[in-house]
Amino acid sequence: MGIQIRTTFEIITPDSAEHGEAAERGWVDEEGTEYGFRELVELARSGAVSSSDPAPSAWLTVYKYDEDYSTGAVENRSYHPVSARDARYFAKAMQAAGLWR
């Protein structure tokens, strides 16, 4: 059984950045996708966790997930564990990736 993770996105354009806002945000995957532990560790190595200490409500953000060089828009993606069980394995993956002690 894998680790269920929901995915959100935000797109920041040069215009929206001037106002301190995202131009667009929402769900990529509201239901959740199953990740293997190693897969989640690899993903964590490319991102930043929302908290410096393990917390059940923490999430992972991969900044500059995608960049549109013609418009200057940048997409960030955030990964959120679905259940308490998923949050426990998420925390272990963050530790294995070196983001938490």
Residue type, 49: V
What is the distance between the alpha carbons of residues 27 and 41, in angstroms, rounded to a whole number?
22
Residue 14: φ, ψ to 5°: -55, -40
Q: What is the pLDDT of residue 45?
A: 95
pLDDT of residue 51: 83
Which positions of the chain have pLDDT values less than 50?
none
